[in-house]
Amino acid sequence: MKKFMTGALVGVATLAMTAMASAQDMSAMVGKWQWQNFVIEMTMGGEHGVSAKVVSGPANVGMEMMQSKMAPQGDAMVARIKHPANGQTYNAKMTFDGADSWKMDGCTDAGACASGVFTRVK
């Protein structure tokens, strides 16, 4: 019984730490980000817990990019994201590179792939 309780406590603690890390990672994305000719504003809230709207650029201004909730996967976050240039939805993986930069890689269900580095707008 003692081993079961210890295992259960370790499991609960691991889940809690994962949830806190996920929330921290998502809150670190709040702000405005530059990618190519686009500026994306990330905010907490919305249908998927995080909103990513195109606020300026050559196309799709006003488009919501987040198409699913973000989920932790190893040292990254994954979600379905609309591409700001073409509006196609990608299965994307986001990795952080400090407080002012993150990289997104992803592919559509049809196999078209894209990547890019997003930098914080100061």
* Cα–Cα distance measured from residue 92 to residue 99, given in angstroms and rounded to the nearest whole number: 19
Give pLDDT, residue 2.
46
Q: How confident is the model at residue 1 (pLDDT cuts 50, 70, 90)?
A: very low
Which CATH fold topology does 2-120 show?
Lipocalin (2.40.128)
Q: Give pLDDT tens digits for 18-38.
A: 333 444 456 778 999 999 999
User: Average pLDDT of 62-77?
Assistant: 93
Write down the residue that tokens 């989920």 correspond to. 71
* Cα–Cα distance measured from residue 70 to residue 29, given in angstroms and rounded to the nearest whole number: 11
Give pLDDT, residue 110.
95
* Cα–Cα distance measured from residue 67 to residue 90, given in angstroms and rounded to the nearest whole number: 9
Nearest to 86 by CA among 102, 108, 117: 108
The length of the chain in residues reads 122
Give pLDDT, residue 25.
55
